[in-house]
Amino acid sequence: MTAKARPAVATAAPDPADEQVGAADLAEPATQRLAAVELGHVGKIFAAGSVTALSDVSLTVAAGEFVSLIGPSGCGKSTLLRIVADLEQPTSGTVTVHGKSARQARLDQDYGIAFQQSGLLDWRTVQANVELPLELHKVPRGERRSRSAELLELAGLSEFAKRYPAELSGGMQQRVAIVRALATKPSLLLMDEPFGALDEMTRERMQTELLRIAGETEAAVVFVTHSIPEAVFLSDRVVVMSPRPGRITEIVPTGGWGRRDAAAAADDVRSSAAFFEAVAAVREALRGGPGDTGAVAGRDVR
């Protein structure tokens, strides 16, 4: 099945200088950019062949790009993320991360990963939690201290360095988890519903924080979510997946809200007509509705 790529959703009052960056640029990353992730016809079968989780998934994520995966429960979003992370092996197809095998990328610390639960160790301070990946890779103590201080400042948590996870709010714990994932300076972040357990207001603040951190570190992000507004707000492109066996059915370019106007107030973006239009486009794609008449078909998914 060939996935459809929608034209970019219109954004309000574009700057004429931005007009050279059109729908095609958003729908398909420029080939001259180094790909952060490349998936070629990936399939995954579990339980001795009785459950097909993924079928013929092909996708390219450019360096520095933010891509969200969205679809019904059980469609294979998390499985796909785990395959990229080399935590699961594909039954078929190919996976590369910055041109390397997924296994080599894991060994080379080319990505950081964050899940719905922060996974912080209760008996370690915030600083010690952030330093854990560096400690495991035998980074000298002085370098660990310097890097953790830099990351905690980035997350606005410097004053909490000596606190323990139980002393932090849920949102603060997730910020610690995110910067811990950045400790080894990965060029790719893999995130599986990291804000799913947070209340709505905290979740929105964390979305803004994530865009800021990802922008400052220039990391590519592959983000799994069930929330359409979250996917639209965060992403350059939203990848819509079918019910199991998971396939990519449509790709919706959203305009890259945080990247197009870093100074824009998040509330203004979320209340804009263009934002609601993008949300409606993703919702239609999830419902299996017909793509826009301008949808591009018959090409590889990028």
CATH architecture of residue range(s) 1-9+31-110+187-285: 3-Layer(aba) Sandwich (3.40)
Distance CA 154, CA 212 (A): 9
b/e code 171-181 from CB counts within 10 Å (16+ = b): bbbbbbbbbbb
The model's pLDDT over 229-283, given as tens digits with 9 standing for 90+, comes to 999 999 999 999 999 999 999 999 987 765 555 546 777 788 888 889 999 999 9
Instruction: Kindly give, in sequence order, each residue whose CB lies less than 8 Å from that of residue 277, ignoring residues fewer than 6 positions away.
Output: 9, 10
Domain boundaries, the chain: 1-9+31-110+187-285, 118-185
**Of the candidates 55, 37, 41, the residue with the CA atom closest to the CA atom of residue 93:** 41
200 has a pLDDT exceeding 80:
yes
Q: What pLDDT is attached to residue 83?
A: 96
Q: What pLDDT is attached to residue 103?
A: 93
Q: What pLDDT is attached to residue 44?
A: 95
Q: What pLDDT is attached to residue 33?
A: 56
First vs last Cα of the chain: how many Å apart?
14
DSSP secondary structure letters along 147-172: HHHHHHHHTT-GGGTTS-GGGS-HHH
Q: What pLDDT is attached to residue 214?
A: 82
Q: What pLDDT is attached to residue 86?
A: 94
pTM, 2 dp? 0.78
